[in-house]
Amino acid sequence: MQGKVGYFVGKLVELLVTLLLVSLLVFAAFSIIPGDTARIMLGPDASEAQVNLLRTQLGLDKPLVARYFSWLFGILTFNPGTSYAYNMSVGELISQRLPVTIGMSAIAMVMVVLISYPLAVLSARKPGRLGDQVCSVIGHVLFAIPPYVASLLLILLASSLFSLVTVGNYVAPSDDFSGFVGCLLLPSFAIALPKIAMSFKFLRSSIIEQRASDYVRTSKSHGLSDLKILVRHVLPNSNVSSITIISIILSDILGGSLIVEQVFNLPGLGRLLLSAISRRDFPLLSGIVFYLAFITVLLYFLSDILAAITDPRIRLK
Amino acid sequence: MTRHIHIVKVHHLTLSFPTRKNPNPKPVLDDVDFGIRDGEILGLIGNSGCGKTMTSLAIAGLLPENAEITSGSIKFAGKNLLEMSPKERRAMLGKDIGMIFQEPSTALDPLMVIGKQLEEVLTAHKENNLSKEERRQAIIDMLKLVGFPNAEEIMTRYPHQLSGGQRQRVLIAGAALLKPRLLICDEPTSSLDTVTTISILELLKELCHKLHITILFISHDLSVVRGFCDRVMVMRNGKIVDRDTASDILTNPRNAFTAELLTNARLDTRILGFEPIKVDYEKEPVLTAKDITAGYGRSLFENIKNKKSKDAGINMVLKGVSLDVYPNEILGLIGGSGSGKTTLIRSLLGLLPHTGTVSIKSDRIGVIFQDPVSCLNPAHTIKWHMLEALNASSRAKEIKGTGTYEERKARTRARIIEVLDICGLGEEYLTRHPNELSGGQRQRVAIAMCLVQDPSLIIADEPFSSLDASSSAELLKLVTDINREQHTAFLLITHNIHIVRQIAPRVIVMSDGKICEEGITSDVLNDPKSEAASALLAAERQIHGSLS
């Protein structure tokens, strides 16, 4: 009893504590950034009295602790205030842009799984053979290409050579969902490429390792076919270790999408974040950073839970 | 089917591992020629690397991909196996030829419950068209046959929730489930304790008779095949050097190599002649454990399924165990596998959640585990290991003392060298890595790592079972020396009754998660009151009796 319920409760407490620390860190980081928000908003020509008035309106004159708690309350109720720059609710701004970033990350993740798994399985069948070596070399090359370079190369390829995809065209999901997915395919692929290589490399060695294990030998001696052994024993066991890697890849993809959005001119969180930075839009900036951190921490939490569900040994610890 | 006198006939088999650099290497199997008679138990004996396992894998068709059979043939019930397609050979596995292996701890898929893994044996062979309920019944019957009265319960367990002996029984159940004609057993007992070994051997013999299974039994230990095999073959460097009936080979070895193997099997009588020291049982114990109960949980989903019964969520392995260890004493703890010895140690050390209380007079207890290979970090030197142990100890400051960095460093080094010296390792070992040491030396390092912390108690969990007879005799001497000179108490978990008889003045016998007998060693061993203690003694006599 203690073992498993304790494990889940422990992980949940861990999640909450991490989020609290993240909120403190985010708030502290934005508080120590030099520069006066009110002064920046009003410009160098505004009088001291005007600046002071705005400061009072924004609540910037309150003590730090009070500001932290009112900010935390706003964040937790999904209402982190009004953006200075856009003059819109931060929650609304983020929820407008979130589908692009999340959609792109999700498509990239699907690509990673769909491409790296079959390749890893095929490669691991006969390690050291030509096919395996070709895959490994291509993997190394892809691993070395950062997503923004891959984006540019893909744009070149897709637009000038094949003219398959209209680059730089954005279709809102509410207008045409398949069009929305279509315009995200290429940027997603650019983010996915190095991650495909990473996941391939990891899975391949994990499958090779599992195939050499004693229980596979036992299954062989029971007369199980190679396919059955692969599906029922080798893959589930290599998945146990892959879950952690996949969660790291996912959070990497989320970060990568912020940059790729710029290259493909997509209205996602990344562009919102950059404009918030350049305009010193504290409520917007802290909102985006906190929610992104929240998604990442949540992913790790889910991967821990998933690992505990798949591996019966974890709960003992 | 026609009946053949020989169920398997290996005919002048030569096998090697050619590589691109060396296309004609020395053969691993060199002109191996023998037959296995229908219904017999044939022993195949030899040191590690002599080709026993390769012979068995060649028969089963599970050779590594880079192995090449250069000449010879293998016939099973008259059919030449080497001319069959891989698919035909696979169809024979499990159905005609079953196999069990040496290491039961890794031979089961850790993510799958036992019932499912056994069911795979049945579903892998389509021709026996059983319904789900029939399959379940077949598995329950087989698990009962291999000695699990609680078969339904075992089916829902994961491999890590079973002991080594239990896992080996599960593997035997899997191999025997389709009632194959030949069962290949590759060192099935070498990682098990004596009592479990005897019970596994008895089980195999029973299966051999009840299900009419022929057994090829591979082992490096001559004493194990005694009274078990009908005939024995001795292998050396890929060749069969001796073959005879089991009784002849053991009483009257004609071959010099067989005689040498026989001598090695007798070695553990070397430990005779140690004097146990006097222990004052009036003193306050160094370790007191009261009413320890512990167990392993089931998975979350099973728990939700079994919500009705409240205690169904946990499988108790320890049921209210209490014990005291007094200063200076060597307390022996014996019991068959699965009796809860290791679970008790883990609970005492606080590595496993448990109820009950454990109080330790000094906060310094050392532990020595069974497997010295994986206990040391291969990336670091012995000095690093010793330093780490020293720094983790609550006495680190005391030993290092005060003064400049150089002075403290010198004192630390002196202390480490002193401890290594006690353990029979010289100063030159400081810079060595674990892979440069033998198994016995590694276990010495493990003891030194405990000793450097100046513990009042060392818990040793089967510290000798992975070592050969001469190393374990030397280590045993070391343990008694430390006990006498450093006044360290030992809680010694072992399955070797010889050792307990010689060095432990007091002994505790565990069975089924409880302490079933405890007292002065000579009393317990000469006149055992409990069934478990009698069984242990009987097993010991059966294996080592006539040899020692």
Residues of chain A contacting B350 with CB distance shorter than 8 Å: none
A228: which residues sit within 8 A by CB, 6+ positions away? A219, B120, B124
Instruction: Please tell me which residue, A161 or B114, carries the higher pLDDT value.
Output: B114
- How far B126 CA sits from the closest chain A CA (Å)? 11
pLDDT at B303: 47
Q: Which residues pair with B245 in a beta bridge?
A: B231
DSSP assignment, residue B33?
E
| Pairing mode of beta strands B365-368, B457-461 | parallel
In B165-213, where do the E strands start and end?
A: 182-186
Q: Are B303 and B341 in contact (CB under 8 A)?
A: no
Q: Which residue has the tokens 């035909």?
A: B88
Q: What is the 3-state secondary structure (H, E, C) of B481-518?
A: HHHHHCCCEEEEECCCHHHHHHHCCEEEEEECCEEEEE
Tokens for B475, please give them: 């280590």
Max Cα–Cα distance, chain B, nearest Å: 87
Interval B404-423 mean pLDDT: 88
Q: What percent of chain B has pLDDT over 90?
A: 13
Interval B477-484 mean pLDDT: 84
SS3 A165: coil
Beta-sheet strand order (sheet of B506-511): B365-368, B457-461, B489-493, B330-335, B506-511, B514-520
Q: How many CB atoms lie within 10 A of CB B453?
A: 22
pLDDT at B547: 41
Distances (CA, A) of A228 to A135, A224, A294, B175: 24, 6, 39, 18
Q: Which of B101, B110, B297 is facing A315, going by the closest CB pair?
A: B297
pLDDT at B273: 55
Q: Are B460 and B397 in contact (CB under 8 A)?
A: no
- How far A297 CA sits from the closest chain B CA (Å)? 23
Would the CB atoms of A1 and B92 count as touching at under 8 Å?
no
Alpha carbons A232 and B416: distance in angstroms, whole number: 50
Residues of chain A contacting B106 with CB distance shorter than 8 Å: 213-215
Does A209 contact chain B (CB < 8 Å)? no
Task: Say if pTM beats, i.e. exceeds, 0.90.
Answer: no
Q: Are B480 and B274 in contact (CB under 8 A)?
A: yes
- What band does B526 get if pLDDT is binned at 50, 70 and 90? confident
Would the CB atoms of B99 and A309 count as touching at under 8 Å?
no
Max Cα–Cα distance, chain A, nearest Å: 86
Distances (CA, A) of B68 to A207, A221, A233, B330: 25, 20, 28, 53
ipTM confidence score:
0.74
* Cα B49–chain centre separation: 19
Q: Which of A214, A240, A316 is facing B296, going by the closest CB pair?
A: A316
Does A9 contact chain B (CB < 8 Å)? no
Q: Are B260 and B291 in contact (CB under 8 A)?
A: no
Does A215 contact chain B (CB < 8 Å)? yes
Residue of chain B whose Cα is closest to the Cα of A212: B64
A139: which residues sit within 8 A by CB, 6+ positions away? A196, A197, A200, A201
Distances (CA, A) of B545 to B476, B495, B539: 21, 15, 9
Which stretches of chain A score pLDDT less than 50?
1-2, 317
- How far B107 CA sits from the closest chain A CA (Å)? 4
Would the CB atoms of B297 and A213 count as touching at under 8 Å?
no
Distances (CA, A) of B246 to A288, B45, B104: 78, 11, 26
Mark residue A18 as left, alpha or beta (left: phi above 0; alpha: psi -120 to 50; beta: remaining): alpha
In B266-410, where do the E strands start and end?
A: 287-297, 314-325, 330-335, 354-360, 365-368
Instruction: Please tell me which residue, B336 or B45, carries the higher pLDDT value.
Output: B45
Alpha carbons B135 and B123: distance in angstroms, whole number: 9
Would the CB atoms of B111 and A223 count as touching at under 8 Å?
no
Q: Which of A129, A208, A209, A218 to mutate to test the interface with B (most CBs of B within 10 A)?
A: A218
Alpha carbons B367 and B362: distance in angstroms, whole number: 14
Q: Which of B60, B296, B352 is facing A221, going by the closest CB pair?
A: B60
pLDDT at A108: 93
Contacts 24+ apart (CB under 8 A), B434-441: B434/B373, B434/B376, B434/B377, B434/B378, B434/B380, B434/B382, B434/B385, B435/B378, B437/B382, B438/B471, B439/B372, B439/B373, B439/B466, B439/B467, B439/B468, B439/B471, B440/B467, B440/B468, B440/B471, B440/B472, B440/B474, B440/B475
pLDDT at A162: 62
Would the CB atoms of A315 and B300 count as touching at under 8 Å?
yes
Q: Are A116 and A135 in contact (CB under 8 A)?
A: no
Q: What pLDDT digit, counting tens, does each position of A38-71 carry?
A: 777 777 777 888 888 888 877 777 888 888 888 8
Does A236 contact chain B (CB < 8 Å)? yes
pLDDT at B297: 59
SS3 B461: strand
Residue of chain B whose Cα is closest to the Cα of A214: B107
Interval B412-420 mean pLDDT: 89
Alpha carbons A83 and A287: distance in angstroms, whole number: 10
Tokens for A142, please give them: 């892809």
Q: What pLDDT digit, counting tens, does each position of A13-31 carry?
A: 989 999 999 999 988 888 8
Instruction: Please tell me which residue, B280 or A168, carries the higher pLDDT value.
Output: B280
Instruction: Please tell me which residue, B127 or B23, carries the higher pLDDT value.
Output: B23
Would the CB atoms of B111 and A219 count as touching at under 8 Å?
no
Q: Are B111 and B120 in contact (CB under 8 A)?
A: no
Residues of chain A contacting B61 with CB distance shorter than 8 Å: none
Tokens for B402, please give them: 């005060």
Would the CB atoms of A223 and B353 count as touching at under 8 Å?
no
Does A177 contact chain B (CB < 8 Å)? no
Q: Which of B300, B302, B303, B347 to mutate to test the interface with A (most CBs of A within 10 A)?
A: B300
Q: What pLDDT digit, counting tens, does each position of B294-342 carry?
A: 776 554 444 445 544 444 445 677 888 888 888 888 899 988 766 788 8
- What band does B444 get if pLDDT is binned at 50, 70 and 90? confident
Residue of chain A whose Cα is closest to the Cα of B94: A222
- How far B99 CA sits from the closest chain A CA (Å)? 6
Q: Which residues pair with B182 in a beta bridge?
A: B97, B214
* Cα A282–chain centre separation: 22
Q: Which of A8, A214, A315 is facing B107, going by the closest CB pair?
A: A214
Would the CB atoms of A315 and B60 count as touching at under 8 Å?
no
Residues of chain A contacting B92 with CB distance shorter than 8 Å: 223
- Pick the closest to residue A108 from A184, A17, A55, A198 (CA basis): A184
Which residues from B are below 8 Å from A when comparing CB atoms? 60, 62, 90-95, 97-99, 101, 103, 106-112, 120-121, 124-125, 158, 160, 171, 174-175, 296-297, 299-301, 303, 313-314, 352-353
